[in-house]
Structure 1
Amino acid sequence: MDKKNKLGLSEADVRALFITPAIRNAGWDDETQVRREVTLTPGPIIVRGNLSSRNKKKKKFADYVLYKDLGTPIAVVEAKENKHTVSSGMQQALGYAEIMNIPSAFSSNGDAFASHNKVPAAGKNIETEFGMSDFPAPQELWNRYKNFRGIKDDHSELIQSPYYVDSSGKEPRYYQTEAINRTIEAIAKEQNRILLVMATGTGKTYTTFQIIYRLWKARRAKRILFLADRNILVDQTLVNDFKPFGSAMTKIKNRKIDPSYEIHLGLYQSLTGPDEADKAFKTVSRDFFDLIVIDECHRGSASEDSAWREILEYFDSAIQLGLTATPKETTYVSSSTYFGEAIYTYTLKEGIQDGFLAPYKVVKIDIDKDVLGWLPPPGMKDDLGEDVENRIYNQKDMDRILVLNKRTKLVAETVIQFLRETDPFSKTIIFCEDIDHAERMRKAIVNAAGKLAVDNPKYVMRITGDSVEGKAELDNFIDPESKFPVIATTSEMLTTGVDAKTCKLIVLDKNISSMTSFKQIIGRGTRVDEEHNKWFFTIMDFKKATELFKDSDFDGEPVVIFKPEGGESPVPPDGTPPDDGDDDDGDDTPGVRKIRLGKVEARIIARRIEYYGPDGELITESYRDYAKGKITEEYQSLDQFLKRWSEADKKTAIIKELEEHGIILENLAEESGQDLDAFDLLAHIAYDAPPLTRKERAENVRKRNYFAKYGDKARAVLEALLEKYADQGVQTIENTKVLKLDPFADIGTPVEIIRDAFGGKSGYEDAIRDLENQIYKEG
């Protein structure tokens, strides 16, 4: 093909005619080694007000990913139209190679390939170019990958063990693949203490399943123990991600380990206890398990003197893999000290920026008695007739020492008002100080909800460790298909491991000082569930708990604050680790008499709304402000915007461009409260241009007698299109399907209208452009 014709090809044509054949001719198998148009990340979700949209401009989409076998990516290829240079896609390809941690990136425009090699041979260039017939063979790029990752030949068999492929086509996301491969590679290199840190909602259990499956199939681990500390974590794993193990898998019950199974899921509590008779793990030999996976390892297993740790020490010859979203690093307890530094970390910030996790907005509410403090009048008695200590009570005292019934009522009414304004059936978790507070909050929600609670007694449930009825409803609460319960009041029980993927509102009426606990609580809302329209979540904070977002530790790298010689965790002076809020529900203030007051008033004195910003910081910004920033980033002045608008063959193309930035016209119109044409809405929001309504623009066109130059039939069509514009906007008249609607049916079929009134498609498109020019003409 000559260069002139080649320049007119689309990118898809360049891929099909030149790049795909070049890769195939180099020996790559289309079925197992090449994937095209691979979405690595969907792009972050933008939230403003009660509205959300995806910023598709930040979507990461690779034209080709090349694999040793499906599951182990080793190279990426970016394609460009022939009018671009050979290496014009290289920076894009390098960005993809970076997140996949692979050494080989290529770019091509169909004339040649540009190559970037992160591990060049001595004296060789990092970047080179070569002809279309010289693309590297699979073995060459596999050797380069092994060199880059430090993989030796005797590791290869384990590293090439197969992934599980299910019938639905589900496969690991890029970061899950990296976590899986790093773990398998570490084990191949004889590392037997491994830590994975992955934010809540990023699929730790699915990632773990693939790791276990590959080791199991390779017979590197014949017997596996998956350890958790809560029944729901074991049960969810058993019926969901681990289901493919089928009859090879069992849940440990009645303190018995059945050797006839290979995959064992168990509670720490079912394997050990204070007495020797409780230590069921000792009924099998120390080398019985080849692999032990410790879920939520920031909890009891991180502590040197924990009873749970003895299980790990008994099976010390096994590979031990710790999983957590929040590695515990304190003076007394360290996940990293036991497992070593994390071999892979995927943070909440990364998950939100990639678009896999839901962003959040924070509604901060200040109550007068909390913020200003409250001093009881001299001689005041509580509701039981006891003296009230004469001192200033503040936010930390609320609901732990001082119970103000009207404050609880105010919180409940504020929550219900928010739900009524958004969606009364949004799944909601209210975190309270203790069980007593959770029960009082349940009652207050019932009263505030009124008919909602009357119509269904399970509209709100207290789900705490002591409530049989509440715990029985936990499965229904986290089931997306189950409408009730809608609201759960709790203290600690729902902080960890509960997969409440449709949770849209988290209420914090609890003092939180532990960063570990705070991260876990926030993690209850971070899952995206497109099927059930869950794109973001709201945090309603009554006790300044969200100040922890400002702490650099919130989404930073874990730091070992104290790591003693020999790797042993220190024992604090009193012999017990400090309470960091990770315990199960219980009375958090044992032995403390609560002061209960029913008549003391409480009121809200301040309310602020903040959003998750592009750099991970909370910002105060409306959807309007966000849209203005993105429009002016794309078009620096009103003149630039006007020029682009007037030159565009179809205005819908500009609207779609802006949608890729997360600007949805319907959302913008809703927040601005104005029913304007797309042009006027955008120009007014971004540049403060005075807007005209669509009806005003349509009337201006009529006044110009513009239609006189057309024949009767064409004039009737254009007048009807102008009316459609006035009612529905420019997108409607740019879609030929409008000709199927009334009143066009009385004029003719779409084909007849285009042919008879305008002389064909080209004439019709010219007439539409002319009409749009008249609509947006000044004066």
Structure 2
Amino acid sequence: MAGINKAKLTETDIISKFILPAVIDAGWDDMSQIRQEVKLRDGKVVVRGQAAARKKVKSADIVLYHKPGMPLAVIEAKANKHEIGKGMQQGLDYAGLLEVPFVFATNGDGFVFHDKTNPDALETEISLSDFPTPVQLWQKFCAWRGFTEAQLPIITQDYHDDGSGKSPRYYQLQAVNKTLEAISLGQNRVLLVMATGTGKTYTAFQIIWRLWKARHKKRILFLADRNILVDQTRINDFQPFGQAMTKITGRSVDPAYEIHLALYQALTGPEESQKAYKQVDPDFFDLIIIDECHRGSAADDSAWREILEYFSSATQVGLTATPKETEEVSNTDYFGDPVYSYSLKQGIEDGFLAPYKVVRVDIDIDLQGWRPTKGQLDKKGETLQDRIYNQKDFDRTLVIDERTELVAQTITSYLQRTDSMAKTIVFCNDIDHAERMRRALVNLNSEQVAKNEKYVMKITGDDEIGKAQLDNFINPKKPYPVIATTSELMSTGVDAKTCKLVVLDQTIQSMTKFKQIIGRGTRIDDRYNKLWFTILDFKKATELFADERFDGIPERIMTAKPGDIIEGSDELDDIINGIDPEHSDNTVDDVEGAAELPGVYDSSTYDNSGNDSEWDDNGSRVTKFYVNGVKVKTLAERVQYYDTDGKLVTESFKDYTRKAMAKHFTSLDEFTKRWNEAERKQVIIDELEGEGILWEVLTQEVGKDLDPFDLICHVVYDQPPLTRQERADNVKKRNYFTKYSETAQTVLSTLLDKYADEGVQEIENIHVLKVKPFDQMGRPVEIVKKGFGGKQAYLDAVSELEAEIYSTEPQTA
């Protein structure tokens, strides 16, 4: 373009004036193939005390698609003042997430083309006019992936688009595309591993939709083991199937429908007459999706397997967050290795899943055990067995009323100190325990229950009234119930997006079950400020975090006495507010029996119907003793932190800030130089915030009237800080305003007052001229012209004002 000085153009101008025209001229004229500003991650949530913020993430400038949902290439642009290939590494990062082989870096002069399909010339420089056509890239892509003509009708089938603008996240695209590729190659057993809360059901919907629309699969069965999983799926993600979909009820399979959703209990039973699946031929279904396949289909002798083996000719896709891999049971034995995995850790790092804090509560009888006196009777007159009862016994074979009260009181106090309306799930050992816990919580929360009797509800498999409230509990718009006591019913498949507290008063030895329960809190809901959650652990279940099979790291772990929470303590307040307590250590307890954890469900508390039950390992009903009058004491506390690498550390938010700064600046001089040279201080402020430095939390800890510059100098480099008002006063003493006109002096003096009140960010925004008291001086354009002669002169004056604010020159009288 003649007459245009590229060097002065912004990155946005380079894209609009040079990059997009070059791409469109190459034949990319279908705008559904071009997406700009594609944000692939949401930004990791950083938690400090009760505050949380997202790290800022950059978007891919342009992603090119063969079709929507089928990415081919990434284009990363920079302003022309940069070297042509400057954006390459950034583009490669995005391409890695999308698993595409083509990356183009550009500054508007041409492209550096990274082509993984051509290892002999991996990166070459091409002109703007030589950008590849859609056909060229698609053909190279197909050859790179080894696609055959027979696969293409399946692989290229459109995704479902509801018109809302919602599109699959990058890992959902990967999961769907890899599943279809495997099926198109004739693979009939497929396993997808995706962490709880990452949209497995939505992913399953897109898989089914594309195979169904391609007519590659015509009759599909979605199989689950809990009514809520089937009903949520039918009403929500699967709704677009409309009249083609049915839920199998009454032990009858209706061949008039193509999409069938079924509770596996509705398809089979111990009696031959209950095996409804045998009403149709073994080849009736050609695709079966098994939700939460770790629970049933992994076992050779399960009722699930009975159904799957009957329809053995069908393609079968297993979905799970927690594949079972034990000596007795294995998902991979049946389905094969996963075609795609997306872990809890990845989800937290990407900002799609909520991080969590852990508060471990130690009760003396849990750790030291309790022994009855000789001949002691329980509340029913039964003689107690003379032995030492320990943590695994409590609420399973022995009920101590005082322990139940102490746990309930600890939960109540924690909610009162944080948020009494925070959605809370309390996992108990069985139905009886869940009912007693509900009663204890009701009594301790009488004021809340008086406002609404559904403040605390028992939601278990045997309780129709409680189960009827499950939809209200998981609905963010419904405030009640607030606290749900349960044992098994809510451990999987409950999409409680706003759950902020998960309480563990259940013995958990299965890694599969532990991951599922933790998953109840990992969903994020920005609209309701649900960005993180807390785990309150009474049964040392969170020691499973130390197991190598767990793939997520807690933000922080505190071990406390119940009294710290019930009576209140400075140290607990420190934990809640993110301040480092004086008494903490960086030691890790030994994980008792970690090497012996079986990693399978404890059959004593779970049956395949999804109901809660009380059975021992031999299938006999457990006999419980009930006692009271037992003194329950508390033990010592310990505070622990984990860094992003999963290493145990002990640090305050100040320590965290020092560590984050050390990654960017080696000295005070380097930081000061960068700050003074920055055209806009906001750029540095945003950059550091992106590294997890939360200015709001830091100012609360240090002092609210400090500027970010002084906060860093003081906290990181031990410099005596100046308040914003002190800096403003120093500027006024230098009398440097006198060189400006009267109008300009008034504007700059008012900007200085704005700085003292609100900070440097305020004066860097030209829109400040629209608010009081500037609005009394005229419109912004009038103020700028009258006082400074033009916009650039005004901006130069603001830069000079900032230089004066941060000047170290001596004051003048």
Q: Is TM > 0.5 for Structure 1 vs Structure 2? A: yes
Are 1:48 and 1:621, in contact at CA under 8 Å, matched by a contact in 2? no
1:499 to partner: Cα distance: 0.8
1:601 aligns with 2:597: no
Which residue does the alignment assign to 1:432?
A: 428
Most deviating of 16-25 and 608-617 = 608-617
Are 1:48 and 1:622, in contact at CA under 8 Å, matched by a contact in 2? no
The structure 1 segments of at least 4 consecutive aligned residues displaced by more than 6 Å after TM superposition are none
Provide the C-alpha distance between the structure 1 equivalents of 2:117 and 2:479, rounded to a whole number of angstroms.
Answer: 55
The alpha-carbon distance between structure 1 residues 714 and 78, as it changes in their structure 2 partners (threshold 3 A), is closer
The alpha-carbon distance between structure 1 residues 281 and 500, as it changes in their structure 2 partners (threshold 3 A), is same
Provide the C-alpha distance between the structure 1 equivalents of 2:356 and 2:641, rounded to a whole number of angstroms.
Answer: 6
2:673 maps to a residue whose letter is: K
Are 1:517 and 1:582, in contact at CA under 8 Å, matched by a contact in 2? no
1:579 aligns with 2:606: no
- The SS at the match of 1:68 is strand
Which residue does the alignment assign to 1:546?
A: 542
1:431 to partner: Cα distance: 0.8
1:639 maps to a residue whose letter is: D
Listed as ranges, the matches of 1:441-456 within 5 Å are: 441-456=437-452
1:146 maps to a residue whose letter is: C
2:73 maps to a residue whose letter is: A
Provide the C-alpha distance between the structure 1 equivalents of 2:439 and 2:73, rounded to a whole number of angstroms.
Answer: 58
Which residue does the alignment assign to 2:564?
A: none
1:71 counterpart (64, 69, 87): 69
Provide the C-alpha distance between the structure 1 equivalents of 2:745 and 2:99, rounded to a whole number of angstroms.
Answer: 61
Most deviating of 177-186 and 593-602 = 593-602
Which residue does the alignment assign to 1:119?
A: 117
Listed as ranges, the matches of 1:681-696 within 5 Å are: 681-696=711-726
- The SS at the match of 2:129 is helix
1:326 aligns with 2:350: no
- The SS at the match of 2:262 is strand
1:18 maps to a residue whose letter is: F
| RMSD (Å) for aligned C-alpha atoms | 2.6
Which residue does the alignment assign to 1:772?
A: 802
Provide the C-alpha distance between the structure 1 equivalents of 2:111 and 2:769, rounded to a whole number of angstroms.
Answer: 47
The alpha-carbon distance between structure 1 residues 521 and 179, as it changes in their structure 2 partners (threshold 3 A), is same
Which residue does the alignment assign to 1:412?
A: 408
The alpha-carbon distance between structure 1 residues 72 and 767, as it changes in their structure 2 partners (threshold 3 A), is closer
1:466 to partner: Cα distance: 1.3
2:190 counterpart (170, 180, 194): 194
Which residue does the alignment assign to 1:23?
A: 23
Listed as ranges, the matches of 1:358-373 within 5 Å are: 358-373=354-369
Provide the C-alpha distance between the structure 1 equivalents of 2:163 and 2:22, rounded to a whole number of angstroms.
Answer: 31
The alpha-carbon distance between structure 1 residues 112 and 717, as it changes in their structure 2 partners (threshold 3 A), is closer
The alpha-carbon distance between structure 1 residues 424 and 760, as it changes in their structure 2 partners (threshold 3 A), is same
Provide the C-alpha distance between the structure 1 equivalents of 2:481 and 2:265, rounded to a whole number of angstroms.
Answer: 29
1:505 aligns with 2:501: yes
1:649 maps to a residue whose letter is: E
2:517 counterpart (495, 515, 521): 521
1:586 maps to a residue whose letter is: S
Which residue does the alignment assign to 2:566?
A: none
Are 1:363 and 1:610, in contact at CA under 8 Å, matched by a contact in 2? no
Which residue does the alignment assign to 2:595?
A: none
| Superposed CA offset, 1:237-261 (max 9, x none) | 0010000000111111111111111
The alpha-carbon distance between structure 1 residues 452 and 273, as it changes in their structure 2 partners (threshold 3 A), is same
1:472 counterpart (445, 451, 468): 468
1:301 maps to a residue whose letter is: S
| Superposed CA offset, 1:405-425 (max 9, x none) | 232222222222222232211
Which residue does the alignment assign to 2:42?
A: 42
Are 2:297 and 2:304, in contact at CA under 8 Å, matched by a contact in 1? yes
Most deviating of 610-619 and 471-480 = 610-619
Most deviating of 1-10 and 265-274 = 1-10
Are 1:359 and 1:537, in contact at CA under 8 Å, matched by a contact in 2? yes
- The SS at the match of 1:488 is strand
The alpha-carbon distance between structure 1 residues 436 and 196, as it changes in their structure 2 partners (threshold 3 A), is same
Provide the C-alpha distance between the structure 2 equivalents of 1:771 and 1:577, rounded to a whole number of angstroms.
Answer: 67
Which residue does the alignment assign to 2:313?
A: 317
| Superposed CA offset, 1:629-655 (max 9, x none) | 222322222222222222333333322
Which residue does the alignment assign to 2:695?
A: 665
The alpha-carbon distance between structure 1 residues 767 and 606, as it changes in their structure 2 partners (threshold 3 A), is farther
1:767 to partner: Cα distance: 4.1
- The SS at the match of 2:67 is coil
1:384 to partner: Cα distance: 4.2
1:493 maps to a residue whose letter is: L
Are 1:405 and 1:598, in contact at CA under 8 Å, matched by a contact in 2? yes
Provide the C-alpha distance between the structure 2 equivalents of 1:733 and 1:98, rounded to a whole number of angstroms.
Answer: 40
1:112 to partner: Cα distance: 2.7
1:133 aligns with 2:160: no
Provide the C-alpha distance between the structure 2 equivalents of 1:41 and 1:256, rounded to a whole number of angstroms.
Answer: 44
Provide the C-alpha distance between the structure 2 equivalents of 1:325 and 1:103, rounded to a whole number of angstroms.
Answer: 28
| Superposed CA offset, 1:147-204 (max 9, x none) | 2222112211221111111110111111111111111111111111111111111111
Most deviating of 685-694 and 170-179 = 685-694
The alpha-carbon distance between structure 1 residues 313 and 748, as it changes in their structure 2 partners (threshold 3 A), is closer
- The SS at the match of 2:481 is coil
Most deviating of 673-682 and 156-165 = 673-682
1:132 to partner: Cα distance: 2.3
Provide the C-alpha distance between the structure 1 equivalents of 2:383 and 2:419, rounded to a whole number of angstroms.
Answer: 43
1:650 counterpart (661, 672, 680): 680
1:49 to partner: Cα distance: 1.3
Listed as ranges, the matches of 1:80-99 within 5 Å are: 80-99=78-97
1:715 to partner: Cα distance: 4.3
Are 2:605 and 2:613, in contact at CA under 8 Å, matched by a contact in 1? no
Name the count of aligned residue pairs: 756
Are 1:228 and 1:294, in contact at CA under 8 Å, matched by a contact in 2? yes
Most deviating of 500-509 and 86-95 = 86-95
Are 1:46 and 1:662, in contact at CA under 8 Å, matched by a contact in 2? yes
The alpha-carbon distance between structure 1 residues 761 and 65, as it changes in their structure 2 partners (threshold 3 A), is closer
* Identity over aligned pairs, percent: 58
1:639 aligns with 2:639: no
Most deviating of 239-248 and 622-631 = 622-631
1:392 maps to a residue whose letter is: I
Most deviating of 387-396 and 455-464 = 387-396
Are 1:403 and 1:595, in contact at CA under 8 Å, matched by a contact in 2? yes
Are 1:332 and 1:577, in contact at CA under 8 Å, matched by a contact in 2? no
Which residue does the alignment assign to 2:590?
A: none
| Superposed CA offset, 1:277-319 (max 9, x none) | 1111111111111111111111112111112211111111111
The alpha-carbon distance between structure 1 residues 347 and 582, as it changes in their structure 2 partners (threshold 3 A), is farther
Q: Which runs of 5 or more residues in structure 2 are unaligned?
A: 553-599
Provide the C-alpha distance between the structure 1 equivalents of 2:729 and 2:84, rounded to a whole number of angstroms.
Answer: 52
- The SS at the match of 2:255 is coil
Which residue does the alignment assign to 1:722?
A: 752
- The SS at the match of 2:84 is coil
- The SS at the match of 1:605 is coil
Which residue does the alignment assign to 1:568?
A: none
Are 2:180 and 2:207, in contact at CA under 8 Å, matched by a contact in 1? yes
- The SS at the match of 2:97 is helix
Provide the C-alpha distance between the structure 2 equivalents of 1:21 and 1:710, rounded to a whole number of angstroms.
Answer: 46
The alpha-carbon distance between structure 1 residues 166 and 494, as it changes in their structure 2 partners (threshold 3 A), is same
2:429 maps to a residue whose letter is: E
- The SS at the match of 1:313 is helix
- The SS at the match of 2:232 is helix
Which residue does the alignment assign to 2:299?
A: 303
Most deviating of 248-257 and 683-692 = 683-692
1:427 to partner: Cα distance: 1.0
Provide the C-alpha distance between the structure 2 equivalents of 1:355 and 1:300, rounded to a whole number of angstroms.
Answer: 31
The alpha-carbon distance between structure 1 residues 578 and 189, as it changes in their structure 2 partners (threshold 3 A), is same
Provide the C-alpha distance between the structure 1 equivalents of 2:5 and 2:479, rounded to a whole number of angstroms.
Answer: 59
Which residue does the alignment assign to 2:249?
A: 253
2:509 maps to a residue whose letter is: S
Q: Which runs of 5 or more residues in structure 1 are unaligned?
A: 557-575
Provide the C-alpha distance between the structure 2 equivalents of 1:196 and 1:501, rounded to a whole number of angstroms.
Answer: 22
The alpha-carbon distance between structure 1 residues 198 and 595, as it changes in their structure 2 partners (threshold 3 A), is same
